[in-house]
Structure 1
Amino acid sequence: MKKAILAGLRWTSLRLRLVVVFALVALTAAVSASGIAYWLNREAVLVRTQDAALGDFRQEMQNRAASLPLRPTAHDLQTTAQQMAASSRSGYHVSSGYQVLLVDERDPGKPIVGASDVDRFTLDDVPASLQEAVAKKQKVTDSNSYPYHLFWQRRTLRGKPYLVGGTKIIGGGATGYMLASLDQERQDLNSLAWSLGIATGLALLGSALLAQAAATTVLRPVQRLGDAARQLGEGKLDTRLRVSGTDELADLSRTFNKTAESLEKKVSDMSAREEASRRFVADMSHELRTPLTALTAVTEVLEDEADSLDPMIAPAVQLVVSETRRLNVLVENLMEVTRFDAGTAKLVLDNVDIADQITACIDARAWLDAVDLDAERGIMARLDPRRLDVILANLIGNALKHGGSPVRVSVRVEGEELVIAVRDHGPGIPEEVLPHVFDRFYKASASRPRSEGSGLGLSIAMENAHIHGGDITAANSPEGGAVFVLRLPRGGGEEA
């Protein structure tokens, strides 16, 4: 389930971005190409239709409208307009021809109009601006040989597109207007737009498929690299990638393999040195136990005879006794540490009354007068009694040694967790020392490298808490003094 979620997250990140980028690029290119193609085709179609219609209309004006009598009748204009329209339908094959409207004056101020089809084309359909442009006489110059020109406009009439053109016979005569439908061209352009839209959609779909294939090709080595890095982080230092090709991803795989090989070698060397060091400490501690046993026996005899010794020799004997005991504690602690490092330390769990266990720990070390216990009887937990005694002895002993009495030990239950707080009334722990109080052989003052303890007590207490599945924290109380808080699960840790 977790791998599936991770895979989904990977898909929605880099893979999706690649697909989206490919799709956007393809969409932009397709839309741009389709838009340009549509615009070019539109202009080509409209210009071709427009030029053909206007050219045919100009020719008809020269051939037929110019042949009208000087003062034509409305019938003359209508007949000529119908002939021009019929000629456009037979010769103008781009669409269905055009309608014609002829305007002239039989008498001054009395215009007459002849239309090829009054139901389809009247003077009202001709824009006023176009009428003005057609009727306006231009000045004849070297660059302008004619006083009248052919003008045109595209406009929408009754919901359909049309081309409206007009011109005037030079030298006096009728003014002609034509109306050509562009509906067929609009339909052709709409069909072209649909075709380009479908082509754009197909291009977008194809680009998405290509992007998916490209993303798979690119991301597969990246995914393998991520899996290999994850395995390397999990401790599988022999993980290597198969390298193929000469591209950047292949170079990255080679770099990863070299890094993994170097890391494996360094970790192997460090592990070998650590194992040798641990074995040396274990062997040394084991070998020291035999002579220490003999020394302990001798020192006990000397201690029993201390009252009968020469006063000049007694201090030396007491020093030998105390240092022998300290050495014995140090060796036992070193052996305990090597068991933790080797992973051979085990729990022997039992149901323990916490109040009774703390009382027994304090009583065994004659601390009853210096320790204030706040714990209700009947609080049970499944723990290793010996290891709990080691934790309590170290925490309470450390509080008495460095903080001074009275030391307060309080017990409470928070859910399924047992919380034991040990607080002293001393000066507290310096802030720079707090992060290191559980380090092995840590000395708060470099000017006092030698102390009565082994320097391993708090470290061993922490290891015993961890093997139970718990933890110990150290802090300074706002009311003064240091507070060590032990948290242990009431259900017990790992079984032996």
Structure 2
Amino acid sequence: MLARLRLSSLRLRLVVVFALVALTAAVSASGIAYWLNREAVLKRTQDSSLNAFRQEMQNRVATLPLRPTQEDLRRTSEEMTAGGGGYQVLLLGERAAGKPIVGASDPDVFTLADVPVALREAVDTRRPVTDANPYAYHLFWQRTERGGTPYLVGGTRIDGGGPAGYMFKSLAAERADLNSLAWSLGIATGLAVIGSVLLAQVAASTVLRPVRRLGEAARQLGEGKLDTRLRVTGADELSDLSRTFNSAAENLQKKVADMSAREESSRRFVADMSHELRTPLTALTAVTEVLEDEQDSLDPMIAPAVALVVSETRRLNDLVENLMEVTRFDAGTARLVLDEVDIADQITACIDARAWLDAVDLDAERGIVVPLDPRRLDVILANLIGNALKHGGSPVRVSVHTDDHELVITVRDHGPGIPEEVLPHVFDRFYKASAQRPRSDGSGLGLSIAMENALIHGGTISAANSVGADGAVDGAVFTLRLPRDASAADRTGDTGPRPGEGVDE
């Protein structure tokens, strides 16, 4: 993993690429230079020695008798080496047919055993003399090695008969020169790689500095600093990229400013409208309470209309209260008022206040005390249980579980469940689970407000379907998760990502 992270660095990749290119180029150039120099050195030494040997063969061996003595061969071989060619000579003749004799300039250095058999056969082979081949015998040579030291072995025979001659020259000096050349080329290759790495660092810094500034600017832009801009210099591609970033940031700032202005205007409108509606709603509520008290004595023709007015007035009052609550959440003015809450007592009080005792089964141990906002917890429970009773039917089961870090409250009904296509939108504002009932008793804000109250505690709510043993849906399950220490939550009402724009199943 660490190696992968290191190789993911653009700077490192640039350095590696530069180094590989330089290494490849330097090794290729050094290899070619070494090979050319090696061939040139060996060829020069080889040609010089073979030519000198051929000349000595023509000058001295040609004067020997057809059947020389061993002393003649020895003396002549010594005379041939006295010319300073730096090689040893061995002459091979016959004192009688089939009786070879050998004369060597230095038998301790060069003997007949040092001459390869193939070379001897090539030297002894007589070729027909033609216009294209004026000589019956040719000069042959071969590179060999003895004791780790390279040698050049050459041989020829004089036309018209006479002994064959062989030369033996050490190539140790040439190998030492070539080794020095190899070391020099290796050092040059290393210096080239080091230079390429330094150049790569400079190039990487030149290229990555604007990229790093661009990344930092993008991070600041992502953090909400919409006035972030890059300083543009030059006219290259990176400068064009910086100009594009500045243009995009400016357009984004304008769009966000426009959206914020429109959102603020809409929020102010909803808040003002809700406040303006509260005064007439207060009067209407008082009137409807009087009408409700006198409903039994009203004309039977009028009573249904009065009941409808009472119901719709209450619904409108709930909608206005919910809109005001949503406005507080959107404005970030919602606050937590924490208190030590016994969860079982709180749920019982919520159920009892709404006369749901006969329709709700509670599974909660007493004594589970958690610091929460009692009013907001009551809003959450009322929405979840009321939603289950309205759309799932009784019995509704409320269960409480807890551990060291989290409080978990589940509300389960035994109704038809929530359609799969509706589940992702359950907590969206004003979302209706059924298009056939756009007018329902709910405002479409209940579950959204419940989610907002959970988020302000640092918790969340999830919705799912319960599946029975036969694989069929057996009701809906809402799970409320709250931290055991809600005091660490953000009490300003900044609840983070909200569940979209609406839901009431």
Q: What TM-score range do you get, normalising by the shorter chain?
A: over 0.9
- Looking at structure 2, the residues matched to 224 and 495 of structure 1 have their Cα atoms a distance apart, in angstroms, of 36
Q: Distance in 1 between matches of 2:297 and 2:437?
A: 34
Contact 2:423 2:463 in 1 (8 A): yes
Q: Give secondary structure in 2 for the equivalent of 1:259.
A: helix
Indicate the larger mover: 297-306 or 357-366: 297-306
User: Are 2:34 and 1:45 aligned?
Assistant: no
2:234 & 2:128 partners in 1: Cα distance?
78
**Inter-partner Cα distance in structure 2 for 1:287 and 1:311:** 34
Following the alignment from structure 1 to structure 2, what is the Cα–Cα distance between the partners of residues 116 and 140? Answer: 32
1: CA distance, partners of 2:402 / 2:98: 115
Report the counterpart of residue 316 of structure 1 in structure 2: 305
Q: Deviations over 1:20-53 (max 9, x none)?
A: 1111111000100000000000000000000000
The code of the aligned residue for 2:228 comes to: T
Tell me how far 1:415 sits from its aligned partner.
2.6
Name 1:34's counterpart in structure 2: 30
The answer to whether 1:447 aligns with 2:424 is no
Contact 1:349 1:495 in 2 (8 A): no
| Matched-pair contact (CA < 8 Å) for 2:456–2:491 | no
For 2:242, the aligned partner's letter is S
Q: In the alignment, which of 350, 361, 386 is matched to residue 339 of structure 2? A: 350
Partner SS state of residue 467, structure 2: coil
Residue identity matched to 2:27: V
Name 1:487's counterpart in structure 2. Answer: 481
Structure 1 residue corresponding to 2:17, chosen from 21, 33, 36: 21
- Spell out the pairing of 1:131-142 with structure 2 (5 A cutoff): 131-142=120-131
Once the 2 structures are TM-superposed, how far is the Cα of residue 13 of structure 1 from its aligned partner? Answer: 2.2
Q: 2:113 aligns with which of 124, 134, 144?
A: 124
1:306 partnered with 2:295: yes
Q: CA deviation at 1:240?
A: 1.4
Change in CA separation of 1:300 and 1:489 when aligned onto 2, cut-off 3 Å: same
SS in 1 for 2:92: strand
The size of the alignment, in residue pairs, is: 484
Alpha-carbon distance, 1:494 to partner: 3.6
Cα separation, 2, equivalents of 1:340 and 1:379: 28
Stretches of structure 2 that go unaligned for 5 or more consecutive residues are 469-473, 493-505
Partners of 2:277 and 2:320 within 8 A in 1? yes
Deviates more, 1:482-491 or 1:237-246: 237-246
Q: In the aligned structure 1, how far is the partner of 2:98 from the partner of 2:386?
A: 129
Is 1:79 matched with 2:75? yes
Aligned residue for 2:428, secondary structure, equals: coil
Residue matched to 1:288: 277
Alpha-carbon distance in 2 for matches of 1:377, 1:154? 102
- 1:71-220, aligned counterparts within 5 Å? 71-87=67-83, 89=84, 92=85, 97-220=86-209
2:22, 2:193 within 8 Å by CA — same for their partners in 1? yes
Asked if 2 retains the 8 angstrom alpha-carbon contact of 1:281 and 1:338, the reply is yes
For residues 395 and 276 of structure 1, the distance between their equivalents in structure 2, rounded to whole angstroms, comes to 31
Helix, strand or coil: the match of 2:93?
strand
Report if aligned partners of 2:334, 2:491 keep a CA contact under 8 Å in 1.
Answer: no
Q: Distance in 2 between matches of 1:257 and 1:308?
A: 74
Deviations 1:306-339 (A, max 9, x none): 1222221111111111111111100000000000
Deviates more, 1:108-117 or 1:455-464: 108-117
Deviation at 1:244, TM superposition (A): 1.6
User: Residue 10 of structure 1: CA displacement?
Assistant: 7.2
1:469 CA drift (Å):
0.3
Mark the CA change 1:281 to 1:376 in structure 2 (over 3 Å): closer, same or farther: same
Work out whether residues 315 and 441 of structure 2, in 8 Å CA contact, stay in contact via their aligned partners in 1.
yes
With the length of structure 2 as denominator, give the TM-score of the two structures. Answer: 0.94
Where 2:477 maps in the other structure, the secondary structure is strand
1:70 partnered with 2:66: yes
The alpha carbon displacement at 1:58 in A equals 0.7
Which amino acid is 2:97 matched to? P
* Contact 1:347 1:467 (8 Å CA) reproduced: yes
What's the TM-score, normalizing by structure 1?
Answer: 0.95
Give 1:359's aligned amino acid.
Answer: T
Partner SS for 2:155:
strand
Give the alignment's Cα RMSD to 1 decimal.
Answer: 1.5
1:375 to 343, 364, 369: 364
CA drift of 1:495 comes to 4.5
1:262 shift after superposition: 1.4
Contact 1:471 1:487 in 2 (8 A): yes
Residue type of the partner of 2:15?
V
State the SS of the aligned residue for 1:291.
helix
Corresponding residue number in structure 2 for 1:432: 421
Secondary structure of 1:121's counterpart equals: coil
| Aligned counterparts of 1:390 and 1:318: Cα–Cα separation in 2 | 26
| Cα-to-partner distance string for 1:200-244 (whole Å, 9 max, x where unaligned) | 111111111111111111111111111112222222222211122
More displaced 10-residue stretch of structure 1: 270-279 or 392-401: 270-279
1:11, distance to aligned residue in structure 2 (A): 7.5
Structure-2 separation of matches of 1:319 and 1:99: 132
The aligned amino acid for 1:383 is L
Report how far residue 414 of structure 1 moved.
2.7
- Residue equivalent to 1:247: 236
Q: Is the 8 A contact 2:427 2:451 kept in 1?
A: yes
Q: What is the letter of the counterpart of residue 408 of structure 2?
A: V
Q: Describe the SS at the equivalent of 2:341.
A: strand
